[in-house]
């Protein structure tokens, strides 16, 4: 079971890096427009021309592969809440530390509740 927890952590970190790259890339690209098929195609080309978007997508694919490794070992009802909670906490901290997003007291309290929930799920 310890290997599963390490895989969950690895998946969370890899997916987090992907999300941070995607956010920074889309910030560089700007608002994505999709008013018509031509504009949508232009937006897709612009996105796929951005190195941060491509890096983020690559990390997301690796994260998805690790997720499949996890699912092949344990039940979805067990692992999904744990991985979702861990990913949310990692993303929360990275948004605060890396992206410099403002975090309210209520959100900090929510993270504590999530941590308590993860601990409860992992206990038998």
Q: Please write the tens of the pLDDT for every residue from 11-41.
A: 999 999 999 999 999 999 988 888 888 988 9
d(CA 113, CA 13): 21
pTM: 0.79
């Amino acid at each position: 079971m310890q290997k599963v927890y390490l895989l969950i952590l690895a998946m969370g970190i890899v997916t987090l890096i992907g999300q941070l790259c995607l956010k920074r890339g889309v910030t560089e690209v700007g608002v994505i427009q999709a008013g018509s098929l031509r504009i949508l195609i232009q937006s897709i080309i612009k996105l796929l021309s951005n190195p941060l978007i491509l890096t983020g997508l690559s990390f997301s694919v690796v994260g998805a592969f690790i997720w499949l490794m996890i699912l092949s070992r344990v039940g979805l009802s067990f692992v999904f809440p744990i991985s979702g909670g861990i990913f949310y906490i990692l993303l929360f901290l990275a948004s605060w530390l890396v992206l410099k997003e403002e975090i309210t007291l209520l959100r900090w309290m929510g993270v504590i509740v999530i941590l308590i929930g993860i601990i409860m799920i992992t206990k038998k």
